[in-house]
Amino acid sequence: MALKSTSGRYGTVAITIHWTTALLILALIILGLNAAGADTDATKRALLIPHIVLGLLTLALTLFRIIWWFFADKRPAELAGIPQLQSRIAATVHLLAYGFIIVLASSGIATNLIGGVIPALASGAPLPDLDDIAVRDVHALLARLFMALLAIHIGAALYHHFIRRDGLLARMGIGKLPH
């Protein structure tokens, strides 16, 4: 498989970024929801540290992906027979996903900076109460909206795979392209 995308399939770089980001986001959701519900400082700390690291990694990977699309690669051609409205919705969902990742990372960084989380994590001091920090509420709301967007994205991929059987997932490295 080529590093760059072809007219019918995404390249190794795009596929690797996509699936790595997907795994990171899954981990971030699990860690974030559990950290929000953690009842002890030690548990919250054990969940927040990897959540912060993986969030920064996801942001870096997403920025790299955007740069990759602009300067080094082209997306494959549209699948044949896709209605224009569906194509526009797919493009919107993808743009929103990039936007959500960037804004979620930014709001997470802002929450940590404003709330004094990083110094507390570094020093071992108790974690500060973040309930009065508005940007944390924004982060939590955006995370839930992003989960809904991901459900749409995953649902669309499954629709293409199981109902349309048009090879969409094969273009992203899962299965074989139809002939």
Structural domains in the chain, sorted by start: 12-171 (1.20.950.20)
Residues 6 or more apart whose CB falls under 8 angstroms from that of 64 comprise: 17
pLDDT at 177: 79
Q: Does pLDDT of 169 surpass 70?
A: yes
Q: Does pLDDT of 104 surpass 80?
A: yes
Confidence of residue 176 (pLDDT cuts 50, 70, 90): confident
Q: Does pLDDT of 3 surpass 70?
A: yes
Which segment of 9-13, 88-92, 127-131, 173-177 scores lowest on mean pLDDT?
Answer: 173-177
Distance CA 73, CA 84 (A): 23
Q: Does pLDDT of 159 surpass 80?
A: yes
The residue to which tokens 């870096």 are assigned? 60
Average pLDDT score over the chain: 95
What is residue 80's DSSP assignment? T
- With CA atoms as reference, report the closest residue to 109 among 73, 143, 59: 59
26's tokens: 């899954």
Angle at alpha carbon of residue 155, lines to 151 and 161, rounded to 5°: 150
Angle at alpha carbon of residue 95, lines to 89 and 99, rounded to 5°: 140
What is residue 51's DSSP assignment? H
Residues 6 or more apart whose CB falls under 8 angstroms from that of 20 comprise: 61
What's the whole-number mean pLDDT along residues 128-152? 96
28's tokens: 């971030």
